Amino acid sequence: MAWHLQGLRNPAQVAAQMHNVGVTLAVALGAGPGALLLTLLGARKRLQKVQEQRIPISFLTVLKATLRGHLAYTYLLSRHLTRYYTLPLLLTSLFLPPMLLLTCLLCGIVIGVDYQRLKPHVGLGWFALFSLLDDCAYEVGVVWGCIKNKTWKPLLPVIKKHT
């Protein structure tokens, strides 16, 4: 955080920058109780559906399954965003410093899960470096392919509504 404040001379600029970082941290910390509430509500809804079918499953089992599903979705979303958008997120965070927290969070989720899942024979620091370099190289390759084929479709997200 200090490197973002070095170029700022005016105390008002420093205060504004610190406020941005504070708001970002508050939102990040406030997400925990919200995520817990959504998980509990989702588990309750799933338990009701299971009980309608007269299947004897405890609330704890349904809660674990719901939590596992939410964590898997979080990992897959983070994996997708870091695989295709790490470089743009890092560049954006140069101009909008709170984005650095989001970028670090996304990369941290992916690196942590992959390190635990793959159990590499290198330390976490080296694994993180290799993982970030791999994602950046992949992104450069995708952009190069887009330029070569004169289309940006592989980088444009598509949101489909299920009907």
Confirm whether pTM is higher than 0.75. Answer: no
160 within domain boundaries: no
22 within domain boundaries: yes
Token pair of 118 as six digits: 């793959």
For the chain, what is the domain count? 1
Residue with tokens 């406030």: 30
Among the listed residues 134, 114, 135, the one whose alpha carbon sits nearest the alpha carbon of residue 124 = 114
- Domain extent at residue 43: 11-155
Distance of CA 56 to the CA centre of its chain: 35
The answer to whether 140 and 86 have CB atoms below 8 angstroms apart is no
Distance in angstroms (rounded) separating the CA atoms of residues 49 and 42: 11
Per-residue pLDDT of the chain (163 residues; tens, 9 = 90+): 444 444 445 555 544 454 444 554 455 555 667 777 777 788 888 888 888 888 888 888 888 888 888 888 889 999 999 998 999 999 999 999 888 988 999 999 999 999 999 999 999 999 999 999 999 999 999 999 999 999 888 888 777 887 6
1 within domain boundaries: no
Q: What angle do CA 117, 122, 127 make, to 5 degrees?
A: 65
Compute the radius of gyration of the chain from its Cα atoms.
20
98 within domain boundaries: yes
163 within domain boundaries: no
